[in-house]
Structure 1
Amino acid sequence: MDVFEILSSLLMLICSIFGTICALVFIIIIIIHHQCHTINNLLAFNCAVAGCITSITYICQSIYQLIDIGNDILCPLRGFILHTGTGLLYHSLCVIGCYRLFVTVYSTRRFLQTNNCAISMVAIQWFISCTFVVPLFITGKIQYQVNGRICGVLMEEEWSFIYLISIAFVFPLIIIVILYTKIVKYMKQNPFSIKNSTNIPSQHRRQSELRLIRRICMIITTLFILDFPKLVSFIATEILLLPSWPYMIRVDRMFITFGISTTMLVNIIITDDVRKVLTSTIMKYIVPKKRVQDINVIKMPIV
């Protein structure tokens, strides 16, 4: 392995560990604190589970790359889990977008905002995410890539690669953009007046929804930018017929792991209940110590 391969594997490992920690912190807080058991938080919990699965798999993959044992019997299985986890992450964001559409645009249809509806969407999402890679896995399309020392669908397998990025990346991204475009358009067409004091709860909810949409758009933008190299590489090599860069697969994986870890961190930041619990827990153990240190400084005799 040369220097670039070692550094790229280390970066993948660090980003994946950070993403796993953020996802596990989110999952533990949601499970332990009952006040966090709301539909919005549970949908974000679903996103964290997907990120945790993918990050742990990338940790294993990075370790295998560093010890130079990439093409083992479990390599296709790791490739299957990596593709499935990436799809899980994007599909979970689709579910969040659908629920925000139901709450905002179809607020009068209460059955769309129930727990049963949310659970049904999550169940359907997991079924699709866990099965769309199965045909590629069964037919042996997930193969060891020497340049990247990782298993996945080769770009040379044009139809398989197009199918993969369409289901895991392109279609979910298009659906998410359409959903949030419709939400923003609806909110612009139904503005609320701040001067109207009789509708304060509705104003507060609308402001919260707008703030949540902005935060979700941050995650979408991050994921789009970080998966963009894969799309550019495919267009350059398969459509424009330009020579491929040997390390492009590693660059793509570095972007993906960094994007997943960033998404897990943003997921904690934008989920108010989880952020408040985490902040209060940190302050609980930091502030008292700081106060004791301050008291000791005050009590020190002046010589």
Structure 2
Amino acid sequence: MICCVSAVILALIFLFIIIFDKVYRKVGMILVVNSCLAEFIFGIYLLAVTLFTFHNDLKQIYFYDSFCLITAYIGYMSIGLQNYSYLLQAIYRYILIVNPLGLFYQSVKFQVFLISFTWICCIIYPIPLVFTGQIKYLVDDQLCQIPPGFSFVTIFNAFYIYLFPMISIVLIYLKMVRYVREMSKHVTPVNRLFHAQRELKMIRRIISLVSILIALGLPYQTLIIVSFFKSAPKYHFRIVFIFINASLVFVLIAILEITEPLKTSLMRRINGRATNVVRTVA
């Protein structure tokens, strides 16, 4: 619960700073806003699930209502939004290196189109899961999820919202590394090579952020794989969600660390308040 509240507060702080300091005017920052908003929704979902589980455990309630299904829907949607938001950032950096003259693909309109497209896909995707009864109430874990086990739905779900965006980001990074190395071997204008190396450094930071998601999401993927061969252990989702809750806080800290405009704005506000306090005391 502490991790969930901390994550929601951090995401709100980042969004307010970006909006009030008007650092969202650049395309790269629009993509960061998309990631922060996705993390905020994901944090709200995790907090709702935690409170629902805590309440049912405390009252010894062993049945669910529509709230459980709604949170499950929001959960699958927000996980997709989170992972695809980082894929969009990687794609944007790739475009800047490989096609620096493609102004249309770097434009705000095109990037907003991609953001809107991912939102539509992530919003629509969980609807069939809810209305076809794929999402079940798990009594021991006190939440609604797709039961782990060998099935098309389980495999497709893991691939669609987790494996595909994660693998795509890694592949984009490897291709960018290869492209920059090829540039360094040929006669390339110094400013273009410097620009490519800078964007490669940015996507390397995104990879470090994604590595947090992969590392702390490993228990969930391990649970899915193990469930193909034998029954999942009791309270499996409770254990898995501990890592997921912690990952959200670490991811938001990583966003702050790799986003220089956001970090600069936050430090300026902190230092400005500290200066005002010193002057008042003096």
Distance 2:23 2:241 in 1: 37
Give the drift of 1:244: 2.5
Determine if the alignment matches structure 1 residue 279 to structure 2 residue 267.
yes
Distance 1:291 1:202, change over 3 A: farther
Deviations 1:59-118 (A, max 9, x none): 111111111157222101100101110011001111111111111111132221111111
Contact 2:180 2:197 in 1 (8 A): no
Residues 104-123 of structure 1: pairs in structure 2 closer than 5 A: 104-123=97-116
Determine if the alignment matches structure 1 residue 182 to structure 2 residue 172.
no
Distance 1:253 1:14 in 2: 13
Contact 2:7 2:43 in 1 (8 A): yes
Contact 2:169 2:207 in 1 (8 A): no
1:249 equivalent among 231, 237, 258: 237
Give the drift of 1:263: 1.2
Identify the residue that residue 65 of structure 1 maps to in structure 2: 53
Per the normalisation by structure 1, the TM-score is 0.85
1:233 equivalent among 212, 223, 227: 223
Give the drift of 1:220: 0.9
Identify the residue that residue 208 of structure 2 maps to in structure 1: 218
Distance 1:287 1:33 in 2: 19
Identify the residue that residue 47 of structure 1 maps to in structure 2: 35
Determine if the alignment matches structure 1 residue 147 to structure 2 residue 140.
yes
Identify the residue that residue 159 of structure 1 maps to in structure 2: 152
Determine if the alignment matches structure 1 residue 30 to structure 2 residue 18.
yes
Deviations 1:20-53 (A, max 9, x none): 1111111111211224421001101101111100
Determine if the alignment matches structure 1 residue 264 to structure 2 residue 252.
yes
Contact 1:95 1:125 in 2 (8 A): no
Determine if the alignment matches structure 1 residue 87 to structure 2 residue 77.
no
Q: Name the aligned partner's letter for residue 141 of structure 2.
A: G
Distance 2:151 2:258 in 1: 38
Distance 1:231 1:157 in 2: 13
Identify the residue that residue 6 of structure 1 maps to in structure 2: none
Deviations 1:211-249 (A, max 9, x none): 21221011110111111111111222213x3x4221221
Determine if the alignment matches structure 1 residue 74 to structure 2 residue 62.
no
The total of aligned residue pairs comes to 276
Percentage of identical aligned residues:
24
Per the normalisation by structure 2, the TM-score is 0.91
Distance 1:280 1:204, change over 3 A: farther
SS of residue paired to 2:66: coil
Q: Name the aligned partner's letter for residue 171 of structure 2.
A: I
Distance 2:103 2:245 in 1: 38
Distance 2:113 2:185 in 1: 32
Determine if the alignment matches structure 1 residue 133 to structure 2 residue 121.
no
Distance 1:114 1:92 in 2: 17
Identify the residue that residue 298 of structure 1 maps to in structure 2: none
C-alpha root-mean-square deviation of aligned residues, in Å?
2.1
SS of residue paired to 1:191: helix
Identify the residue that residue 206 of structure 1 maps to in structure 2: 196
Structure whose alpha-carbon radius of gyration is higher: 1
Distance 1:263 1:115 in 2: 25
Distance 1:60 1:145 in 2: 16
